[in-house]
Amino acid sequence: MSNSLWASGALALTLLTPNLGVAATDADLAEIRDQIRQLKESYEARIQALEQRLKEAEARTAPAPPATAAAPPAPQPPAPVAPVAAGATGIAVFNPAVSAVLQGTYHNFSQDPNQYALSGFAPSGDIAPGKRGFSLGESELALSANVDDKFYGNLIVSLTPENTLSVEEAYGLYTGAGNGLAPKFGRFYSGLGYLNDQHQHAWDFVDAPLVYQAFLGGQYDVDGVQLKWLAPTDEFLEFGGELGSGEGFPGTSRNKNGVGSGIVYVHTGGDIGTSNSWRAGLSYLQTRAQNRDYAQTDIHGNDAQVGFSGSSKLAVADFVWKYAPNGNAQDTNFKLQAEYFWRRERGDFTYDRDGSLGFMNTSNYGARQSGFYVQGVYQFMPAWRVGARYDYLIPGTVDYGSNSAYLVNPSFHPQRSTVMVDWTPSEFSRFRLQYAQARLREGVTDNEFFLQYILTLGAHGAHKY
Amino acid sequence: MRSHLQWLGAALLAAWVGPACAALSVFATVPEWGALAEELGGDKVRIYTATNALQDPHHVEAKPSLIARARGADLVVATGAELEIGWLPLVLQQAGNPKVAPGKPGYFEAAAFVTLLDKPTRLDRAEGDIHAAGDPHIQTDPRNFARVAAPLSARLAELDPENAAWYQSRYKAFSERWNAAIANWEKQAAPLKGTPIVVQHKAFTYLIAWIGLKEVATLEPKPGVEPTTTHLSEVLATLQRTPAKMVLRAAYQSDRASQWIAERTKIAAVTLPFTVGGDDGARDLYGLFDDTIGRLLKGAQ
């Protein structure tokens, strides 16, 4: 430190004396040398004095002596505090926060999980509850950090038990916008509904509610842009909009320029006293499908290949209420959560797309379907929670047009009742036992037992409300 | 029609600018910093305290109300040292308010101005809920408020330069009164020096160091891990060898474990307010320590 100060002093001197090199006599040089020596001595003395003062200040902030002496007479600008942890050196100090989630389950199903289906609904995506017996769940790897002064980046990849890798989220967030604006871009879970943007390991049950399976194929991931705006009010009021590729169910890939899906939502919430908090929201998704093909049994019992092309509109109302005595959720707390989904689809419907039944017919199609779930989770003592959930799907009205000669919408309402108990020894580990009685197809009752573990390691994550 | 639009524009502008023109809006993560900002800012600051004294400060949720309040804040006053790691980063990220992002003048961490104790030598989650930077519960030693007050006052003045003189005079008055109070508390607490105690959670490190209490045992087997019967039996055995005068817990903690020990060892179970609002006596910073010392003296009898 004293060296660099001394050097800069000398440099300043050099700059301030431009005639130095022009006509320097020996006497001049001696004089300059003398001045420099004096300057050096004076700086060193001042630096020593400063170091002494620093030592004294450090001694005063140490906890041992009384602080009465420590308080300076007037506010001083905050002293810089060494922020870099000792030992962290080199390029590694800028490593992003890394965390991993390990999961696994033991399943016991009374019905064949390969036959899993929701009567009257034909979502694509992976909605089946997994295989019987022991199985590894999805392992998740997350990296996040500030990119620079303007952006924050987050990558979450999921390693499936089948040894494939999928990118769950990979987005950038523009942090410098201000005014309550938070623009996000890349791949992210949509802010639609309540549960959609939470990762599966943060759910209160092993599997997703039936409405998420039936209407979103599990969870709605957007490849696109998101803009949220938080109103400048003391009450929480947030507006959001998303534009995406629209490839995820209920849309399909359409090989088209422009925007494939649009989502808007509004969220509001707040506290009631110190013990209650809540959030409610309304969301709307509009997208299109082209040749969304699936197998459906026709009225003659044939396995027909059918396809839908047209518009799909989904509205979601969500509500969550949390209770914790005095706001302290550590000992006991209660959470009530419900979401209602409505969907309207209109377009063309093709019966026997692959022509295997020797006949192909395209007609108008219109469907209005809905469903909901409601669940409550009660922590009755530290680390222990119990929960119950009820799922219900309404196949609604489906107009097959001229295809009604071959197809009929079932009147059966899929439903499921679930109970769970989980043990959370620390913030980083959870073990869960879950039982569900699922009547998803007419005349078929599945008794499902799940045993699950969730382990989190690495950086301390923060859970969404 | 045009005049309507003008009115609407003016109203919107007023709504936008209005709150910013009023007092400096301070978002305090825990009650003690809200109380300190109140002492230093008086009616020039508008304070929102995100949590209350009966909440476990380690387990706070990023509630909608907190996000909404962080949106409009000019200054976030946090403890730091990872105390708020489970919720504050998320709240700040969702608030869309870069003014209060870490590193900006609008973000203040009190722990940066205090020498932290109990810095773990082994950073491993097997050691429980440990904080890498050291114990964040700095508010149990009044001298730490003296250390934090100066830079906090300077920060208020930096953000609200028009009222710099006001903050300086408030600081001066607070500093004098506070130092006198510390001297008084130290006099009152003198008889407590060397008193052996048990703590439920390692939450009183700074209080213990200040008064000179002697921590004999901790009811939590590891920081943040709920007391188990096995561990409590071990604590009981320790207390038979080295008896303690009292068992301390913070107001937000469940009283089960300390009652269990108190019944079996016939020592006093003392509930300390821990922060402002922890009990009826701890209405402000002065009340916090008046009450804490009073309860300790009573427990030591």
Q: Which amino acid is located at A465 in the chain?
A: Y
Phi/psi for B42 (5° steps) reads: 55, -135
CB contacts under 8 A, B 258-297 vs A, are none
Give CA torsion, residues B93, B94, B95, B100, to 10 deg.
-10
Q: Collect all residues with Cβ–Cβ distance below 8 Å to A113 and sequence separation of at least 6.
A: A107, A128, A129, A130, A131, A132
Fold of domain B189-300? Rossmann fold (3.40.50)
Which residue spans of chain B are classified as CATH 3.40.50.1980? 17-184, 189-300
> What is the tally of structural domains in chain A?
2
Is A95 among the domain residues?
Answer: no
Domain that residue A276 falls in: 110-125+169-457
Q: What is the pLDDT of residue A38?
A: 66
Chain A residue whose CA is closest to B252: A328
| Same structural domain, A434 and A353 | yes
Tell me the two tokens of residue A349: 């419907």
Which CATH number fits the domain that encloses residue A426? Answer: 2.40.160.10
pLDDT tens-place string over residues B56-70 = 988 899 999 999 999
d(CA B219, CA B203): 11
Is B14 an 8 Å CB contact of chain A? no
| A266 interfaces chain B, CB cutoff of 8 Å | no
- In contact, A271 and B65? CB cutoff 8 Å: yes
The predicted pLDDT at position A355 comes to: 82
How many Cβ atoms from other residues are within 10 Å of residue A189's Cβ? Answer: 19
Task: Return all residues near B203 (Cβ < 8 A) that are at least 6 apart.
Answer: B137, B140, B250, B274
Residue A206 lies in a domain: yes
A45 and A174, same structural domain? no
Predicted confidence band of residue B224 (pLDDT cuts 50, 70, 90): confident
Residue B132 class from Cβ within 10 Å (0-12 exposed, 13-18 middle, 19+ buried)? exposed
Nearest CA in chain A to B124: A458
| Same-domain status, A118 and A7 | no
Total count of residues recorded for chain A: 465
A333 and A229: one domain?
Answer: yes
Yes or no, beta carbons of B82 and A460 under 8 Å apart = yes
Q: Which residues of B touch A234 (CB under 8 A)?
A: 68-69, 72
Q: Choose the weakest-confidence range: A12-16, B22-26, B209-213, B234-238.
A: A12-16
Interface test with A, best of B12, B46, B47, B63 (most A CBs within 10 A): B63
CATH homologous superfamily for B17-184?
Nitrogenase molybdenum iron protein domain (3.40.50.1980)
Q: Per DSSP, what are the bridge partners of residue A364?
A: A348
Residues A2, A121 within the same domain: no
- With contact defined as beta carbons under 8 Å apart, do A168 and A138 qualify? no
Between residues 169 and 188 of chain A, which touch chain B (CB distance below 8 Å)?
A: 173, 175-182
ipTM: 0.88
- Cβ pair A266, A281 in contact under 8 A: yes
What gap in Å lies between CA A410 and CA A425, rounded to an integer?
45
**pLDDT at B16 exceeding the cut of 80:** no
> Residue A401: CA atoms inside 13 Å, Cβ hemisphere, count?
13
- Location of structure tokens 């990872």: B82
Domain assignment of residue A147, yes or no: no
All residues of chain A having their beta carbon less than 8 Å from the beta carbon of residue B26 are none
By three-state DSSP, how is residue B179 classified?
Answer: helix
pLDDT category of residue B191 using cuts at 50, 70 and 90 = very high
- Residue scoring higher pLDDT (A10 or B293): B293
Model pTM? 0.84
What pLDDT sits at residue A51?
Answer: 62
Residues A357 and A217 in one domain: yes
Output the tens digit of pLDDT for each of chain A's 465 residues.
Answer: 444 444 444 444 444 444 433 444 566 666 666 666 666 666 665 666 666 666 555 555 544 433 343 444 444 444 444 444 445 567 888 899 999 999 999 999 999 999 999 999 988 877 888 899 999 999 999 999 999 999 999 999 999 999 999 999 999 999 999 999 999 999 999 999 999 999 999 999 999 999 999 999 999 999 999 999 999 999 999 999 999 999 999 999 988 899 999 999 999 999 999 999 999 999 999 999 999 999 888 999 888 999 999 999 999 999 999 999 999 998 999 999 999 999 999 999 999 988 888 889 999 999 999 999 999 999 999 999 999 999 999 999 999 999 999 999 999 999 999 999 999 999 999 999 999 999 999 999 999 999 999 999 998 877 889
Query: What percentage of chain B exceeds 70 in pLDDT?
Result: 93
Query: B102 at the A interface (CB within 8 A)?
Result: no
Average confidence score pLDDT of chain B: 92
Task: With CB atoms and an 8 Å threshold, state whether B209 touches A327.
Answer: no
A452 and A342, same structural domain?
A: yes
